[in-house]
A and B are shown apart, each in its own frame.
Chain A
């Protein structure tokens, strides 16, 4: 990924990894679109425990920032290396942590889908995440991109790996509910 305002004389490299979603079977595209729609709705409706069930038994979830990614730095904001950790995160939000009381609203852009390793599909999509406080004041909380590895079996898609790369590295207030 090139940094913004790349030095003069440098040109963006040609399309890195093949063409967009054209060769992807219709049922796969439909299943992934359904998955992303459910992902957004379950988070926005505060059904976090059901959101966890969109992940495969063997899964990981990360929130990182573009600033770190572009410098090749591995630091994370959130890293659940397996489904138990994902459940622990949710349980901690529910019962342990204090955070700004708000509603979430995710808007996820059209995904680009490509075949990935070991039968998984590589999915990329932009997201916007707005937060609204309990008196109805909304703010843009985060924009960025999802980079997911998705398994599709019998028309149902599950997340093997989900990485949210936040352009919004300067987190307003705090980050509690998942991106």
Chain B
């Protein structure tokens, strides 16, 4: 059990965040318990990834290994991927299909619901040995999660106290999931990126609309997304989820040129793509957004950049490392041409993405440079201090402060007079 955590917040509105929170092992241990295994809904996988009875996939909640299965009756289950006996990983493949799941060490056997159903030599051999008669298989089963399938997205929780999923997602979250999952999806594949940084730097990055058009210069250079487009950030009532969004074709080249004039390192009209297929947007959402990136606390991002669609899951791998697990998808009724278009646009996202590769580097150089800091803090004042509110522009870091406010609430470390 980690010791009680004490944080000296310089301010109560999270406009300063101590760097040590990205490096402290005890903070990390407490996060796994109070955030990922706490009263939240974690993104597990897509329903479309386990379409048939017996299908399973491994996933992660924080740094806890989890198996997601579809039982014979079609119901989805999830449980800790850890044998009830000696704690070995039960499922070692990333995915597969099975009628039962057996640990290789002593062949303890589980059904697809995650219940322990068999132990070799349980009654001993020729009347000798074996388990005590009162050993309760069911009670010894690995820890099971509560799973909900919302519009084809599987969420799970270890917490018996968490609010109902739809309430947790809020109007904002349910609306966004419904938007992306408005018809059956087809998984096009995965990408993984292992970043040497604390997972919260990525949670912040996903809420940082300020960096998008500055670090990811491709956005601006080739006009995929500019801060001058109509757009903004929205948060849920608790400021834990957020969404960066923009509407296609809502600024002019002149407006953009004027806005970015004199910004070091960012220039419009400097270059042209020889082949502009990457920039093509086939309108497919009624709301007109060509960029939507809703982030669901604590571990999920849904992302649309033009016609590339994906989920991302943050998988912490220790205090200074995490994996970004991305699932790229389209829709079952996509034409062959549309699938090709989506795959071509997959060049924009992922570890080699024209508008995403930089994040890995930005996070690693923060992790490196802040390691020795015991007292200094990061500055989050773009977009203002004080109350947390939605904004109809994207030159803001307010959603990052929103993240920290909910983080602090769950961790039990809010400063005196904390804003929420």
Name the A residues within 8 Å of B215 (CB-CB). Answer: 98
- Cβ–Cβ < 8 Å partners of B190 in chain A: 65, 67-68, 73, 75, 169
Interface residue? B274 (CB, 8 A): yes
State which residues 186-208 of B face A: CB under 8 Å.
187-196
- Which segment of B63-71, B280-288, B350-358, B405-413 sits at the interface? B350-358
User: What is the interface of chain A mostly: helix, strand, loop, or mixed?
Assistant: loop
Q: When chains A and B are docked, how far (Å) is the Cα of A5 from the Cα of B96?
A: 13
Q: Cα distance A81–B347 when bound, in Å?
A: 11
CB B194 to nearest CB in A, in angstroms, measures 5
Given A75-B188, A77-B352, also A171-B94 (CB < 8 A): no
- The count of chain B contact residues (Cβ–Cβ below 8 Å) is 43
B93 touches A3 (CB 8 A): yes
Q: Is A169 a contact partner of B352 (Cβ separation < 8 A)? A: no
Given A75-B343, A76-B346, A78-B347; A99-B194 close (CB under 8 Å) = no
Nearest-neighbor residue (CB-CB) of A170 within chain B: B192
Counted as pairs of residues, one from A and one from B, with CB atoms less than 8 Å apart, the total is 121
> Residue on B with the closest CB to A69?
B189
* The one of A3, A78, A85, A170 that contacts B193, using a Cβ cutoff of 8 Å: A170
Residue from A79, A85, A99 within 8 A of B274 (CB atoms): A85
Bound: A73/B187 CA distance, A? 8
A175 in contact with B344 (CB, 8 Å): no
Task: Tell me which of A88-96, A108-116, A120-128, A149-157 binds B.
Answer: A88-96
Q: Does A171 contact B191, Cβ atoms closer than 8 Å?
A: yes
Name the interface residues of B93-115: CB closer than 8 Å to any CB of A: 93-95
Q: CA–CA, A91 to B354, complex, Å?
A: 11
Q: Which residues of A contact B42 (CB under 8 A)?
A: none
- Residue from B188, B221, B270, B354 in contact with A73 in the complex, judged by beta carbons closer than 8 Å: B188
Contact B357 A175 (CB under 8 A): yes
Q: What CA separation (Å) do A47 and B390 show in the bound complex? A: 47
Q: Are A171's CB and B274's CB within 8 A?
A: no
Instruction: A87 to B271: give the CA distance in the assembly, Å.
Output: 12
**Is A82's CB within 8 Å of the partner chain B?**
yes
A71 CB-CB contact with B under 8 Å: yes
Assess whether A171 is in contact with B352, with CB atoms less than 8 Å apart: yes
**A78 cross-chain contacts in B, Cβ below 8 A:** 347, 352
Task: Determine whether A43 belongs to the interface, using a CB cutoff of 8 Å to chain B.
Answer: no
Give A73 to B46 CA distance when docked, in angstroms. Answer: 15
Interface string of A54-85 (1 = CB under 8 A from B): 00000000010101100101111111011011
Tell me whether A100 is interfacial, beta carbon within 8 Å.
yes
Chain A residues whose C-beta falls within 8 Å of the C-beta of B359 in the assembled complex: 174
Given A79-B343, A171-B192, decide whether A96 and B274 contact each other with a Cβ distance below 8 A: no
Interface size, A (range):
35 or more
When C-beta atoms are compared, the residue in chain B nearest to A81 turns out to be B344
Contact call A97/B192, Cβ cutoff below 8 A? no
Q: Give the distance to chain A from B186, nearest Cβ to Cβ, in Å.
A: 10
Q: Given A171-B193, A176-B352: A99 and B270 within 8 A (CB)?
A: no
Q: A65-B190, A75-B188 are in contact. Are A174 and B351 (CB under 8 A)?
A: yes
Q: List the B side residues contacting A170 at CB < 8 Å.
A: 192-194, 323
CA distance A176 to B359 in the complex (A): 12
B285 CB, nearest partner CB in chain A, Å: 21
In the complex, are the beta carbons of B354 and A77 less than 8 A apart? no
How far apart are A97's CB and chain B's nearest CB, in angstroms?
6
Cβ contact of A87, chosen from B94, B274, B278, B351, cutoff 8 A: B274
- Complex-state Cα separation, A173 to B361, whole angstroms: 7
Most B C-beta atoms less than 10 A away, residue of A84, A98, A172: A98
Residues A67 and B94 in contact, CB atoms below 8 Å apart: yes
CA distance A98 to B273 in the complex (A): 18
Chain B nearest CB, measured from A67 CB (Å): 6
A82 to chain B, nearest CB (A): 6
B217 within 8 A of A: yes
Taken residue by residue from 317 to 351, chain B's Cβ proximity to chain A (1 for < 8 Å, 0 otherwise) reads as 00000010000100000000001000110110011
Per-residue A-contact encoding for B212-248, CB less than 8 Å = 1, 0 else: 0001011001000000000000000000000000000
**A125 vs B271: C-alpha distance when bound (angstroms):** 36
Q: A84-B275, A176-B357 are in contact. Are A96 and B351 (CB under 8 A)?
A: no
Whether the pair B357, A88 counts as a contact (CB closer than 8 A) is: no
| Closest beta carbon of chain A to B54's beta carbon, Å | 14
Of B187, B188, B361, most A-chain CB atoms within 10 Å? B361
Contact A76 B358 (CB under 8 A): no
Chain B: minimal CB distance from A164 (Å)? 11
Q: Roughly how many angstroms separate A158 CA and B218 CA in the complex, as a whole number?
A: 30
Asked if B275 and A92 make an inter-chain contact with CB atoms under 8 angstroms apart, the answer reads: no
> Of all chain B residues, which has the CB nearest A173?
B360
A65-B275 in contact given A77-B352, A98-B358, A173-B364 (Cβ < 8 Å): no
> Contacting A74 at CB < 8 Å: which of B189, B192, B195, B354?
B189
Q: Which 5 A-B pairs have the closest CB atoms?
A: A75-B189, A73-B189, A174-B360, A84-B274, A171-B351
8 other contacts beyond A88-B278, A100-B361, with CB at 8 A cut-off?
Answer: A71-B95, A74-B188, A74-B339, A75-B343, A77-B191, A84-B274, A95-B270, A98-B362
What would 12 A/B residue contacts be, using CB atoms closer than 8 Å? A67-B192, A71-B95, A71-B189, A73-B188, A77-B351, A77-B352, A79-B343, A81-B344, A97-B354, A169-B190, A170-B323, A174-B361
